[in-house]
A and B are shown apart, each in its own frame.
Chain A
Amino acid sequence: MTIESYEPLLRWYPPQWRDRYGGEMAALLEDTYAAASDVPLRQRVGLIRSGLAERARGTGLVGWSEDPDQRVRGGSLLVLCGWAFYLVAGAMFVKDADRWFADRSHTTRWVAAAGFNVVGVTIVVGTLAVLLAAVLVLPAFVRLVRAGRWREVARPVVIAIVSVVASGLLFVILAAWAHSLSVHARNGGLPVYGWFFILVALAFFAAVGSATTAAVSVARSVDLSRRTLRTLGVMAIGLVGVMALTLISLVAWWASEALHAPGFLAQTIGNGLPFTSSIVPPTMLASGLLMLVGLALGLAGLVRIVCSLTLGRRTAV
Chain B
Amino acid sequence: MPRRAASKGDLGRSNEPPVLILTSLAAGPKHGYALTKDIEEFAGVNLGPGTLYGAIARLEERGFIAPEPAGDDERRRPYRITGDGRVALESAVRQMRTLADVGATRLGLSGTLGVFA
Minimal beta-carbon separation of A5 from chain B (angstroms): 12
Known: A64-B5, A311-B6. A23 touches B75 (CB 8 A): yes
Q: How does the 8 Å CB contact mask read for A20-43 relative to B, with 1 for contact and 0 for none?
A: 110111111101100000000011
Interface of B, secondary structure class, is helix
Tell me if A95 is interfacial: C-beta within 8 Å of chain B.
no
Q: Within B72-113, which residues are at the interface with A (CB < 8 Å)?
A: 73-77
Could you give, for residues 45-61 of chain B, a 1 whenever the CB lies within 8 Å of some chain A CB and a 0 otherwise?
A: 00011111110110001
Q: Which residues of A contact B52 (CB under 8 A)?
A: 28
Contacts of A66 in B (CB 8 A): 5, 8, 61-62
A303 adjacent to B1 (CB under 8 Å): yes
Contact status A51-B75, CB under 8 Å: no
Check A27/B73 contact, CB under 8 A, given A64-B4, A66-B61, A66-B62: yes
- Determine if A21 and B5 form an interchain contact, defined as CB atoms under 8 angstroms apart: no
Whether the Cβ atoms of B50 and A27 lie closer than 8 Å is no
Tell me if A267 counts as interface (CB < 8 A to partner B).
Answer: no
Chain B nearest CB from A176 CB (Å) reads 50
**Are A43 and B32 within 8 A (Cβ)?**
no
Q: How far is the CB of B20 from chain A (nearest CB, A)?
A: 15
A50 in contact with B51 given A21-B56, A64-B4, A307-B2 (CB within 8 Å): yes
Residues facing B in A270-316 (CB within 8 A) are 303-304, 307, 311
**Nearest 10 pairs of A and B residues by beta carbon:** A50-B50, A28-B32, A27-B75, A31-B33, A23-B75, A46-B48, A307-B2, A46-B50, A47-B50, A21-B53
Q: Are B61 and A21 in contact (CB under 8 A)?
A: no
Task: Kindly name the residue among B31, B50, B51, B54 whose own CB sees the greatest number of chain A CB atoms within 10 A.
Answer: B50
The answer to the question of A223 belonging to the interface, with a C-beta cut-off of 8 Å to chain B, is no
- B51→A26 contact, CB < 8 A: no
Instruction: Provide the bound-state CA to CA distance between A49 and B53, in Å.
Output: 13
A29 nearest in chain B by CB position: B49
* A28 & B36 in contact (Cβ 8 Å cutoff): yes
Chain B, Cβ-Cβ closest to A9: B49
Query: Smallest Cβ distance from A269 to chain B, in angstroms?
Result: 40
Q: Interface 1/0s, chain B 25-53, versus A by CB < 8 A?
A: 00000011100100000000000111111
A24-B50 contact given A31-B33, A64-B1, CB 8 Å threshold: no
B49 touches A28 (CB 8 A): yes
Size range of the chain A interface in the assembly: 20 to 34
Within the complex, what minimum Cβ distance (angstroms) separates B100 from chain A? 28
Q: A47-B50, A53-B54, A66-B62 are in contact. Are A27 and B76 (CB under 8 A)?
A: yes
Q: Counting CB contacts under 8 A, is A252 at the interface?
A: no
Q: State whether A26 touches B61 (Cβ < 8 A).
A: no
For A42, list chain B residues within 8 Å (CB): 48
Q: How far is the CB of A295 from chain B (nearest CB, A)?
A: 19
**Given the complex, which residues of B lie within 8 Å of A25, measured CB to CB?**
32, 49, 53
Across the interface, do A46 and B51 meet the contact criterion of CB distance under 8 Å? yes
A-side contacts of B51, CB under 8 Å: 46, 50
Give the residues in chain A near B50, CB-CB below 8 Å: 43, 46-47, 49-51
Q: Enumerate chain A residues within 8 angstroms of B33, measured Cβ to Cβ.
A: 27-28, 31-32
B49 with A47: CB separation less than 8 A: yes
Residues of A within 8 A of B32 (CB): 24-25, 27-28, 31
**Inter-subunit contact B2/A311 (CB<8 Å):** yes
A sample of 28 cross-chain residue pairs with beta-carbon separation below 8 angstroms, ordered by A number, consists of: A3-B75, A17-B57, A24-B53, A24-B77, A25-B32, A26-B75, A27-B32, A28-B32, A28-B33, A28-B36, A28-B52, A32-B33, A32-B36, A32-B49, A42-B48, A43-B48, A43-B49, A43-B50, A46-B49, A47-B49, A50-B48, A50-B50, A50-B53, A50-B54, A51-B50, A54-B54, A71-B5, A303-B1
